[in-house]
Amino acid sequence: MGDARDLLVVGAGPAGMAAAWRAAQNGLRVSVVDDNPAAGGQIWRGGPPEATVWFERIRGVDVDVINGARVFQQLRPGTLLAETTSGVRELSYKSLVLATGARELFLPFPGWTLPNVMGAGGLQALVKTGLPIEGKRVVVAGSGPLLLAVAAYLRGHGANVLLIAEQASSMQLARFAVGLFSKRSQAFELKRQLKGVPYRSSCWVSKAYGTEKLEGVTLFRGKKSYQVSCDYLACGFHLVPNVELAKLLGCDVEPGGVRVNEFQQTTLANVYSAGETTGIGGLELSLVEGEIAGLAAAGKHDAARELFPLRAKQRKFADLLNRTFALCDELKHLSTPQTIVCRCEDVTFERLQKHTSWRAAKLQTRCGMGPCQGRICGGAVEFLFGWSAESVRPPALPVRIDSLIRK
């Protein structure tokens, strides 16, 4: 597409697809760009049944979905650059929706770098993309509703899910259960799928052990430790928004996500943001935010306003969600001095402890200077030391030198 499209959507997950659909429905020329080989983001990777209606909606309107394209830089306001296997694409737009989703929060603990220790969403993604899991023993741990969804999915594919260790307390979880009333059918379905799998609250993995790969974990609960042998550990501590591209473009970003107004507009006039990127809140909130962004970009503010009540309702759920799964202080003390915190540069806890700021720690230890560009260790050091992330420099993701030259 040589001319500027009316709307470019970055991210082909639920929020991005909802925005693209609404905008295209209202006559805009829309492109959606995504790093993954297929649309769906994380939650709809592989196109599960519940996503079908949305995939059909996208097929039913005139939307150009560009997969396998990594947005890494802004060429000038109004044009983004994306790397593909065959070179760099310039993507010009009049309006932009950032629907870049979220990633899991990883916290270090002894042994967490062993092969076969993965994120909860991480192991699920691997199984969805072809990893055989039948008969394998899996411990699911960390925090958040994702653990339940992952445990149910893995079980449904033949895994032997040994237990789910949730760091939140039973009281926090009880409050959440009450608030789930509106989602009770989903909750009931999950409960059914997980019958027989122990769900332990105030419980976390204090150590993963094994020689060349994971052989088992030590679980801690209420002052008692016990060991469980397993083949995989699926461990993630809820989600954090992917705000790097928004920061690179100059949008205001708050601790919880990209700052947006009631029409999902960021602090940059023609840039919108929707979904987990603006704050973790689950699937339904992502969809309605996406729709509002798409309608607003198309100038249909009245139609957008009609969705405000639904969004407000979903936001209440999101608040409950994030309060419930707030991380307990004990998780700050899992590391030993030798526990690796930055996996890219093998920087240990004791080397980081000495510093008083992220910048000083980075310069002196090279923590956060590896290929993950601080995405894995950043959330951890914020939780452990209170250091907040810095400004983002290009490229937003590692790209070939040729791509920086724009060949």
Contact positions vs other proteins (CB under 8 A): 35-38, 42, 73, 75, 103-104, 106, 113-119, 121-127, 129-132, 212-213, 340, 343-346, 357, 359-360, 363-365, 369-373, 375-376, 393-395, 398-407
Query: Residue for token digits 């603006």?
Result: 278
Quick one: 111 or 294, whose CB is closer to other proteins? Answer: 111
**Is the CB of residue 34 less than 8 Å from the CB of residue 12?**
yes
Nearest distance from C-beta of residue 369 to other proteins, angstroms:
7
Quick one: 59 or 301, whose CB is closer to other proteins? Answer: 59
Q: What is the 3-state secondary structure (H, E, C) of 267-295?
A: CCCCEEECHHHHCCCCHHHHHHHHHHHHH
Question: Going by DSSP bridges, is the β-strand pair 70-76/79-84 parallel, antiparallel, or unpaired?
Answer: antiparallel
Quick one: 200 or 247, whose CB is closer to other proteins? Answer: 247
Nearest distance from C-beta of residue 351 to other proteins, angstroms:
9
Instruction: Report the sign of the C-alpha dihedral through residues 210, 213, 215, 217, in that order.
Output: positive
**Is the CB of residue 304 less than 8 Å from the CB of residue 288?**
no
Distance from C-alpha of 196 to C-alpha of 299, rounded to nearest angstrom: 51
Nearest distance from C-beta of residue 35 to other proteins, angstroms:
6
Nearest distance from C-beta of residue 235 to other proteins, angstroms:
10
Nearest distance from C-beta of residue 173 to other proteins, angstroms:
26
Quick one: 87 or 309, whose CB is closer to other proteins? Answer: 87
Q: What are phi and psi of 390, to 5 degrees?
A: -95, -175
Quick one: 43 or 298, whose CB is closer to other proteins? Answer: 43
Quick one: 210 or 299, whose CB is closer to other proteins? Answer: 210
- Neighbouring residues of 213: CB distance < 8 A, sequence distance ≥ 6: 114, 115, 116
Quick one: 6 or 34, whose CB is closer to other proteins? Answer: 34
Distance from C-alpha of 188 to C-alpha of 405, rounded to nearest angstrom: 53
Distance from C-alpha of 361 to C-alpha of 381, rounded to nearest angstrom: 10
Nearest distance from C-beta of residue 37 to other proteins, angstroms:
5
Quick one: 182 or 353, whose CB is closer to other proteins? Answer: 353
**Is the CB of residue 235 less than 8 Å from the CB of residue 151?**
no
Nearest distance from C-beta of residue 178 to other proteins, angstroms:
32
- Neighbouring residues of 39: CB distance < 8 A, sequence distance ≥ 6: 12, 13, 17, 32, 47, 55, 58, 65, 67
Distance from C-alpha of 138 to C-alpha of 112, rounded to nearest angstrom: 15
Distance from C-alpha of 186 to C-alpha of 317, rounded to nearest angstrom: 14
- Neighbouring residues of 316: CB distance < 8 A, sequence distance ≥ 6: none
Quick one: 124 or 324, whose CB is closer to other proteins? Answer: 124
Nearest distance from C-beta of residue 179 to other proteins, angstroms:
28
Nearest distance from C-beta of residue 307 to other proteins, angstroms:
28
Q: Which amino acid is at 336?
A: T
Distance from C-alpha of 87 to C-alpha of 94, rounded to nearest angstrom: 23
Quick one: 271 or 376, whose CB is closer to other proteins? Answer: 376
Nearest distance from C-beta of residue 113 to other proteins, angstroms:
6
The span from the first CA to the last CA of the chain, in angstroms, equals 17
